[in-house]
Amino acid sequence: MSTGYHSPLLQRAGAVEAGGVDAGVAAHYGAPTREARKLAEGQAIADLSHFDVLEIRGDDRQSWLDTLSTQRINTLKPSQSTQTLLLSVQGRIEHEMKVLVDEDRLVLIVEPGAAAALEEFLNSMRFMLRVEVNNLSQTHGVLAATRPIPSAGTLIWTDPWPGVTPGGWAYSREDHPGSERPWLLHVVALDDLVSAVADEELAGMMAVEALRIAAWEPRFGAEIDEKTIPHELDWLRTAVHLEKGCYKGQETIARVHNIGHPPRRVVFLDLDGSMHTLPAPGSEVKLGERTVGRVTSATLHYEAGPIALAVVKRNVDPEAVLSVVDGETSYPASQEVIVAPDAGQVAGRFTGFLRTPPQG
C-alpha cells in the first residue's frame, strides 16, 4: 500500500518509481542489474527513505522494549544495533524492528507504512513507565549501502544478518551466502537526503532486493503472512534471544525450538532463466501437481540470474525439483535449503546447528 511519500531522489536521471509497498522511491535508475553490482561493491547507495522511523525516549526505554520483544535490548550500548520482533500470543510475527541505540533514545527502523500501527501498540503498553514514543517518519528516512556513507551522519544501523547473535540459533548452514553482504542503514533527515548523496551513484529497490534475496534474508513486508513464526524464516539467528525473560509468544518460540518443528520453511529457489520473466509474489510452488508453498520474493540477480525466496511445507523433499506457476507460465526451480526440514526439536540434541554460548 502506498504511503503517499515521494522521494526527491526520483528527480535523478533515469529514475523509474517502484510499485507496491516500495512506491515513493526508485525501482531503478535505468540499469537495475548494473546498480545491484555497484551496490554490492560499495560503489552505490540505495534510497530507502520511504521506510518508517520511530524513536523511544525515557529512562525505561531499553528495559521496557526488552520485556515486550523477542530480543535482548537492555544490555545494548550506544551505537549498537539489533533486530527484534513483537509476537502474538500464538508466536506469530506482528511487527519487526531494526533497533539502534543512541545516547538518549532508541531509534527504530520499520517497513514503509508500519510505524502508525507500531506506535499505537507501543503507546498502549506504556502504563506508568518512563517512556515516550515518537513517529519520525515525516521528517526522517533511510539510506542503505554496503559501507558507511560519511555524508549521511552517524545514526547507522548495522544488520546482524546472517550472524548468530547472543542467545540466537541458526537453522541453516555455516557457509551462509549472506556473509558476503554487509548492510548498513543510515537514518537521515529528509531535508538532508539530496545533499547526503550528491556525489554518489544511486541504486534502486530492484538492486536492494537482488542483494537481499541472494543473502537469504527475510523481509517483513514480503516473507511474512498471518501465520508466520520466526523459526520458519531462520530469524532465530538475529531476532530472537532464546535465554531471555518472558515476552508474549515466548511459549511458542520455546516449544517449537525444543520439542517441535516449524510447520513451514523458507527456501531459496534457482529459477529457469530461459523464461525471460519473473514469477509474481504469491505464485504457487508445486511438487508435481501438488501445491506445497508460495513464492514470496523474486528478482533477477546480476550473477545468479532469476532467483526467488519461497515458503514451503516443512516435509517437502529438499532434493526435489519444484515448479513455480504464475498464470499460464511454469518455471522449473531447484531448491537450496535455508531452514532444514528437521529444524527444531533440539532438546537434548546439540549438534548439527550453530549455537552461541550462554552469556554472562
Average pLDDT over residues 81-109: 98
Question: Same structural domain for residues 14 and 154?
Answer: yes
Tell me whether residue 52 is in a domain.
yes
Question: Same structural domain for residues 146 and 41?
Answer: yes
Average pLDDT over residues 69-75: 97
What length is written for the chain?
Answer: 360
Domain of 14 in residue numbering reads as: 8-233
**pLDDT tens-digit map of 37-47:** 999 999 999 99
Question: Same structural domain for residues 229 and 283?
Answer: no
Average pLDDT over residues 228-237: 98
Tell me whether residue 37 is in a domain.
yes
Q: What is the CATH number for 308?
A: 2.40.30.110
Q: What is the pLDDT of residue 191?
A: 97
Residue 108 pLDDT exceeds 80: yes
Question: Same structural domain for residues 227 and 267?
Answer: no
Q: What is the pLDDT of residue 352?
A: 47
Query: For all residues of the chain together, what is the average pLDDT?
Result: 94
Question: Same structural domain for residues 190 and 307?
Answer: no
Tell me whether residue 39 is in a domain.
yes
Q: Output the CA–CA distances (angstroms, integers) from residue 349 to 235, 242, 354, in the order listed.
A: 20, 15, 12
Question: Same structural domain for residues 288 and 329?
Answer: yes
Residue 152 pLDDT exceeds 60: yes
Query: What is the maximum alpha-carbon separation in the chain?
Result: 60
Residue 100 forms beta bridges with which residues? Answer: 81, 107
Going 68 to 69 to 74 to 80, the CA torsion angle's sign is negative
**pLDDT tens-digit map of 160-219:** 999 999 999 999 988 999 999 999 999 999 999 999 999 899 999 999 999 999 999 999
Tell me whether residue 291 is in a domain.
yes
Average pLDDT over residues 346-358: 57
Give the number of domains in the chain. 2
**pLDDT tens-digit map of 47-63:** 999 999 999 999 999 99
Tell me whether residue 319 is in a domain.
yes
Q: What is the pLDDT of residue 360?
A: 44
Assign 245 a pLDDT band (cuts: 50, 70, 90): confident
In angstroms, rounded to a whole number, what is the distance separating the alpha carbons of residues 25 and 299? 17
Residue 324 CA from chain centroid, whole number = 23
Q: What is the CATH number for 120?
A: 3.30.1360.120
**What is the CB neighbour count within 10 angstroms for residue 198?**
8
Question: Same structural domain for residues 223 and 288?
Answer: no
Give the residue with greater pLDDT, 198 vs 358: 198
Q: What is the pLDDT of residue 3?
A: 67
For the chain, give the percent of residues with pLDDT over 90.
91
Q: Output the CA–CA distances (angstroms, integers) from residue 335 to 215, 276, 293, 311, 318, in the order listed.
A: 15, 20, 13, 11, 6
Question: Same structural domain for residues 62 and 203?
Answer: yes
Question: Same structural domain for residues 140 and 276?
Answer: no
Tell me whether residue 242 is in a domain.
no
| Closest among 18, 3, 224 to 135, alpha carbons compared | 3
Question: Same structural domain for residues 221 and 301?
Answer: no
Assign 100 a pLDDT band (cuts: 50, 70, 90): very high
Those residues with Cβ within 8 angstroms of residue 157's Cβ, 6 or more apart along the chain or in another chain: 81, 98, 99, 100, 107, 109, 184, 185, 186, 187
Residue 172 in contact with residue 339, Cβ under 8 Å?
yes
**Residue 188: all three cell numbers together:** 537521515
Q: What is the pLDDT of residue 349?
A: 55
For the chain, give the percent of residues with pLDDT over 70.
96
Residue 85 pLDDT exceeds 50: yes
Residue 127 in contact with residue 121, Cβ under 8 Å?
no
Tell me whether residue 245 is in a domain.
no
Residue 355 pLDDT exceeds 70: no
**pLDDT tens-digit map of 261-287:** 999 999 999 999 888 899 999 999 999
Residue with cell 511445507: 313
Question: Same structural domain for residues 299 and 226?
Answer: no
**pLDDT tens-digit map of 301-336:** 999 999 999 999 999 999 999 999 999 999 999 999
Assign 128 a pLDDT band (cuts: 50, 70, 90): confident
Tell me whether residue 111 is in a domain.
yes
Q: What is the pLDDT of residue 2?
A: 55
Question: Same structural domain for residues 48 and 196?
Answer: yes
